[in-house]
Structure 1
């Protein structure tokens, strides 16, 4: 994870462009413990309770994934963008923090965000809500491929989230995408140095900059 943590979402997004991949999850923002997170995805799929469902679910949503997670893991909750009820809450945040989980990404709403901040667990989600999932959403599966905001996420995929947004890198392409992102970072660092030294930005951000994400290079 050291290489991933050294990058930002903008560089990784550019690298995904270079490799012809989509991986930017639109609409999510940091809502608790405002710091970057980087790790491997542990997935959770939520959905409405089945019509024939009677009584309470066997276990509370997200608990199995948290119990199976630890350092370098990011819990990714596919909540279908729902903001009418929370797909993540305070007790889950406390349990995840105790296990050393890197953070949480929710394609939907989350609640009890002050608790997540208190235990230092980053939570990226669409919105905050006080509305419980009880009676409104249940866990359909965990540890299986899911989709968040149209982006597929499989267990073990790399997830990076910061002030710029959230990106997902397929595990099978991680080495190539990270290497490209590192080259982009190095190129842009040299450009920043040139600007700081007084070189006109029109010269610095010329053809070379425009070709940073050109997959034909």
Structure 2
């Protein structure tokens, strides 16, 4: 019953001005925890799952297709979004999502939201409020409802602030300005719908650190973000290790298979179908002989192989 109540409060966040003024512009810790209840690890004070740094580093080496495939097998069908404009297409970004929802502004809503922000001590335009909440390793993920002209959520000033706090970049279903300046921030990157010289107008923050929609994908606070040239995948925190280890194992099999094909030890038909016991044994021997190629810990690999059907 408690969880149902918390989910209801999320859904009713925007219903009335009095409701808005009675609560923070951002989701409460209990609300965030209600959505990520399957995560059993460490959390930030705001309730978001804190997936370990080691997994985030390893995530960068996972392909979009591998992560997407594991998520599909787990029943998660709305975690990928493509068709982006990227500041540095050849650079990979990974981190924990801080999701934000923006809405087309209207006076009877914008006034109370700004007033609530003042009560909470928030400074500047409401598009800068989420930046103050960023931790190192976070990714500012925003639904800007695809707005390009007058929908630029940040320029290079806020871009510098974002990178200073998060050492990461942004995923915006919207636009940014000051492309030239943003591209000079070493380490910063952005996946956006477009670039425009205009400044943000007629937009207001709806909710910070709440579930949001990025195109066809649903994003929850603390989801892992994997952003590459081919698109963006949002991974539920409780599935992070499973997705990464599964993907790493698939990559290991591919590396082994490609090597054995070049050596002409097996035929393409043998490698490209379910492996027989001889190939499986050879693969496990190859893993033991090439520890530098194995990104997961021995314990993670052993646990994975216990449940692996190959």
- TM-score normalized by the length of structure 1: 0.83
Distance 1:87 1:199, change over 3 A: farther
Alpha-carbon distance between aligned partners in 2 of 1:148 and 1:193, rounded to the nearest angstrom:
39
Matched, 1:49 2:105: yes
1:12 corresponds in structure 2 to 67
Among 185, 198, 218, the residue aligned to 1:131 = 198
2:33 corresponds in structure 1 to none
Distance 1:54 1:10, change over 3 A: closer
- Displaced runs of 4+ in structure 1, greater than 3 A? 51-55, 194-205
The 10-residue stretch of structure 1 (30-39 or 109-118) with the greater mean CA deviation from structure 2: 30-39
Matched, 1:30 2:83: no
Unaligned stretches of 5+ residues in structure 2: 1-55, 115-123, 276-308
1:213 corresponds in structure 2 to none
Among 235, 245, 258, the residue aligned to 1:179 = 245
- Between 1 and 2, higher relative CO (CA 8 Å, sep ≥ 6) is seen in 1
Unaligned stretches of 5+ residues in structure 1: 210-215
1:212 corresponds in structure 2 to none
Alpha-carbon distance between aligned partners in 1 of 2:267 and 2:197, rounded to the nearest angstrom:
47
CA contact under 8 A between 1:29 and 1:163: conserved in structure 2? no
SS in 1 for 2:135: coil
1:79 corresponds in structure 2 to 144
Summarize deviations over 1:168-189 as a string: whole Å, max 9, x none: 0011222222221111211222
Alpha-carbon distance between aligned partners in 2 of 1:119 and 1:33, rounded to the nearest angstrom:
15
Structure of larger gyration radius: 2
Aligned length: 210
2:259 corresponds in structure 1 to 193
Summarize deviations over 1:34-62 as a string: whole Å, max 9, x none: 5111000011111111143677x734233
- TM-score normalized by the length of structure 2: 0.60
Q: Tell me the C-alpha RMSD between the 2 structures.
A: 2.8
Matched, 1:110 2:166: no
Alpha-carbon distance between aligned partners in 2 of 1:198 and 1:129, rounded to the nearest angstrom:
54
The 10-residue stretch of structure 1 (19-28 or 198-207) with the greater mean CA deviation from structure 2: 198-207
Summarize deviations over 1:44-90 as a string: whole Å, max 9, x none: 111111143677x7342332221111321111011122223223322
